[in-house]
Structure 1
Amino acid sequence: MDKLRVYQVASLLLLLANIGLAFLLFRGPHHGGHSGPRAKNILNLTEQQQEFFHESQRQHKRAMEDINRQHRDVLHDWFQQLKTEPAPQNPTIPSAIDRLEREKIQKTYAHLIYVKSLLGEDQRSRYPEFVDQNLRRILAGPPGRKGGKHGH
């Protein structure tokens, strides 16, 4: 192969790689709490249902972010006691940790119940699949980490 042909092939490969990268960037992540498109496809949501779903999803996401921020603040403050002399050997874990976890679970449950309330009879048969998919994502935790007993 002459030099011109090598450069043409290399240019074509770079162009294809850039197109593939652009596709991945514009498509966005497939994980991380973005169940909107999946909900639309799994549940076959109408446009009006999608609007209600997305508003509920935004509210749920804000609530989870707020709870997670509070959780981090409590843990930060709790671990600061390690800096004292002598550091407590068996300190009591703040009750706020349990309260915040309960709140996350209750708000998520309420969100899923609300989604179910949006569905018509013909869509309800798909709801268990929607719940299973969300439960797998919830139990798996952050991307790259397997969940506990039920992690897939």
Structure 2
Amino acid sequence: MRTAGFVVLAVVMRLVGGALSDRLGPVNVSVWCFTAVTLLAAVVAFQPGLVPVGTLAFLGLAAALGASSGATFALVAKLAPAHTVGAVTGVVGAAGGLGGFVPPLIMGAVYQFNGDYGVGFALLAATALATLLFTLGPVRRGARG
């Protein structure tokens, strides 16, 4: 049931991320989302108690990851040439599907090796930070052009 709540929140926040991107710009929404994911994944990496810190951190991750998905699709519409938006959206959607498949495999491997998920969430924080920096650099420059 908890997993379903995470997924429902992430799906609803995809809509919010898209709407916010229309108002504030997809790069700005992405920056805020990736900042939140970086910080919240770092918190979870230290394995806080589930109540209240762990629960709030996981719900925040669901919200930020969902909103960033909406911002990503808004960014595709902004950056891709008009005649390729459909194809690019398909590729981005496929990559998102892999994003729902590969990380759980990595987390399972981390758990088997380490006996906990801390390193996996630290890797998520590092990945989110790298994505944040990429968004602040090349993506922001591309969105201006």
State TM-score, norm by structure 1.
0.37
Structure with the larger RCO, 1 or 2 (CA within 8 Å, 6+ apart):
2
Of structures 1 and 2, the larger Rg is shown by 1
Task: State the TM-score, normalized to the length of structure 2.
Answer: 0.39
